[in-house]
Structure 1
Amino acid sequence: MSEDLASLAKDRGIRYFMISYTDLFGVQRAKLVPASAIAEMQQDGAGFAGFATWLDMTPAHPDLFAMPDAAAVVQLPWRKEVAWVAADCVMENKPVLQAPRTILKNMVAAAAGQGLRVKTGVEAEFFLIDPDGAVISDGKDNASKPCYDQLALMRRYDVIAEICDHMQELGWKPYQNDHEDANGQFEMNWAFDDALITADRHSFFKFMVRSVAEKHGLRATFMPKPFPNLTGSGCHIHVSVWDESGTTNKFHDESDEMGLSQQGYHFLGGIMKHAEAIAAITNPTVNSYKRINAPRTMSGATWSPNTVTWTGNNRTHMVRVPGKGRFELRLPDGAVNPYLLQAVVIAVGLSGIASKADPGKRLDIDMYALGHTVKDAPRLPLNLLDALRAFDKDDALKAALGTEFSEAYLNLKRNDWNNYSAQFTEWERATTLDI
């Protein structure tokens, strides 16, 4: 792909570029730049006021410039005169160290410095709901076990097929789409790739799904737990580590019972060791913990972990090894920041390799039925505040992700928790008026 965006615009008939970056809360920020100005923007960046977005800045900070990464340009399949392009944030000619894409690029570079190339795939679940957000959009989708329901899937064929067609056109190699475990919930899968590519695609995917849903008069949400009685939306991530050329899977060991190499076990050990702390990143909202710590849902299972355990091909644990040479982290939810998800997994994995971390005993039990019998495994945080406290105590993880990021993230997320705690609820009135 040409690195000259002006030439690309001329060749492809692009009239506008959407220069986009993702802030600390996972919100996508963009400026629409006419193709006639893109050469200047590619050199100098599109200007933003960082304080106006979810970055830990003040109105006194200098201009933030979003530098478009030509390698990440995506021509919108549904509006071809517009191209979306992921951007890196700079301020006074220096990278903004709290910016999520910068953090991920730093972690990718750290892995590359060890001759490692992290490849990942994500399973992004979402709901299609009415525009006002009150109910799911399909009144007929009311089965108690709706997972893989073919009629419900086909009633949303126009939306799902259009999104999948777009992914095929973009070369993402989508391979399956399904109705998920909650009424009104769907999942779409595409091929795994290098961590930065997956993060850019994950970011664009959320924008694309919302855009196509709106076109059809619907609303898409990646909220972790939009309905109390239904299964929440996860964002499981499949992880493998390859050599520098990307041809040899360094996690794969055919002689091992699980098909994992010692390096793979150590990487997994890093995830297990830091699990309580990474929840602050992988499960970043107040609502996230309504999914992790949910009671039994209408379908009979939450499909969400609440304890730090790992296993083989068993979906009731935080980590499962579904096949040789890779594992699946089932902790993240739909609200996770696409870039911070990849960055934190690489950070704790590299830490595990460096310290030769032991992932602990594999448990081959049904955690939903027998989890109460496991006495020595840590529990995942009960709420966002507990997760933030765990993250703040993890000095090694904060150092790996960067002090500027860690302080900024904790500051904004603590404010988020405080704003939530200041809300006066009907539950308080119902349970306290007569005390």
Structure 2
Amino acid sequence: MDAGQPGAQQAARLDAADPLAARRELFVLDDPDRPGDAVYLDGNSLGALPRAVPDRVADVIAREWGRLRIRSWTESGWWEAPERIGDRIAPLVGAAPGQIVVGDSTSVNVFKALVGAVRMADEDPGGTGRDEILVDAATFPTDGYLAHSAARLTGRTVRALPPGDLADAVSERTAAVLLNHVDYRTGELHDLPGTTAAAHAAGAYLVADLCHSAGALPVGLDEHGVDFAVGCTYKYLNGGPGAPAYVYLRAAHQGRFDSPLPGWHSHRDPFGMTPDFAPAADARRGRVGTPDLLSMLALEAALTVWDGVAIADVRAKSLALSDFFLRRVEHYVPDGRVTSLTPREHARRGSQVALACPDAEAVMAGLIARGVVGDFRRPGVLRFGFTPLYTSFADVERAARTLAEVLADHGGAGSAG
């Protein structure tokens, strides 16, 4: 890329003024085969590797597992890891300590939270008459599958609606509402506070999926009164492939939460080994069995990149990055060649930009071949994720310019100015 181009000059000015710029050095970003030649805009699918992780994992394997072995459950803090790491995630989603436990997959946690919410509704006055679960029709497919499974288990039906219609649709028939905070396909930010308030006004409970918002924008779980929330840790939280997910159990609900997957780790007295289940009195009710310690401790090391970071600064940079990308795409790409599916309004935008492009799969392959890594969703959607801790404005400028070049190769011409 010609550093004399106006877009490059704009990017350089923005990077020089970026208060988060130094965080980039905490990540492994270069392609070893092509140093300095990788632009990674797929952190909305898999976050980059924090530099602190490899040494920590090596220590866990060689010392904690290799030498201390079973003693690490107590001497290395393995037993408390799900709650300890949950408390590290808590400020990133606006939660006080003691409400998040880490473990299992997002899918398992969605199921636990949704069934638990419906069971709580059953215990409320008139709760057995609440015969429906509301879900947003644009939800990630697995969330929909799990909602139907939870409905079968609890004797409910599922009603799927556009996310913007959920607040108006909640009624005395609704037991629980399942809402994705940010749409995985379009990057649209949905109204979590408003939908939560509407659910509560109707006597229902709200379960939020934070996979595409945690670590990218303020969530405010405590502030907005969200009942339950789940999320993965391998996207904006950079925990690594298959990193454990988490579940948020609002403090006021912990004593009533009835998990459909009770296990010895969620027992009040785990080592009592009693045949009858007696749940813990706190957020440990969200646990099940023995956690995946290697991945969990890798996540704990990854979360150190957040030390001293204000989520408001993350949000400000996220919006600035996506604004800059949209402007540069408009500058380089001919009108009509791609169309943004992501809302322009900041209040409705997550931390990705999705572009409708008929030949998205081939275009993304061309981008990756030129060192710009995003991803695509069928049919015809290019996705570009902006991870404020390591994405630079120079990355964004290069991505937009390269997109125009690839699109020109597939038909059409872009501007070079």
TM-score by structure 1 length?
0.23
Using the size of structure 2 for normalisation, the TM-score is: 0.24
Question: More strand by proportion, 1 or 2?
Answer: 1
